[in-house]
Structure 1
Amino acid sequence: MSHQTHRHNREGPCHFSLMSLSAIKRLLLVALPLLMLWALVLWAGGWL
């Protein structure tokens, strides 16, 4: 059985990083799901 070691990329992070996105994209990535959740709550509560 061969075992391959995991090697990190020296030029950048190995995994997806929020800090690699622009500030606007980070804000949208956080705000959009929250807005959708609030819309769902309001709709389910009969306020919309």
Structure 2
Amino acid sequence: MSEHSHRHNKEGPCHFSLMSLSALRRLLSVSVPLLVLWLMVWWANGWAS
């Protein structure tokens, strides 16, 4: 049961890769909608001018 608890152990690359994957997913889930919104604004301004 100890491997299921949330402990920050120094050894074991699996823990680091899981943490970086979740961080990457959080970064993408925030940046992708912002990028789409920015592209829509840029496209609308290009049509307006």
- Give 5+ residue unaligned stretches, structure 2: 1-20
Q: Pairwise CA RMSD of aligned residues?
A: 1.8
Alignment of 1:30 with 2:23, yes or no, is: no
Q: CA deviation at 1:43?
A: 0.1
Q: CA deviation at 1:35?
A: 0.2
Taking structure 1 as the reference length, the TM-score comes to 0.52
**Structure with higher helix content:** 2
Q: Secondary structure at the match of 1:46?
A: helix
Taking structure 2 as the reference length, the TM-score comes to 0.51
- Give 5+ residue unaligned stretches, structure 1: 1-20
Runs of 4+ in 1 over 2 A off after TM superposition: none
How do 1:8-47 residues align onto structure 2 when only pairs under 5 Å count? 22-46=22-46
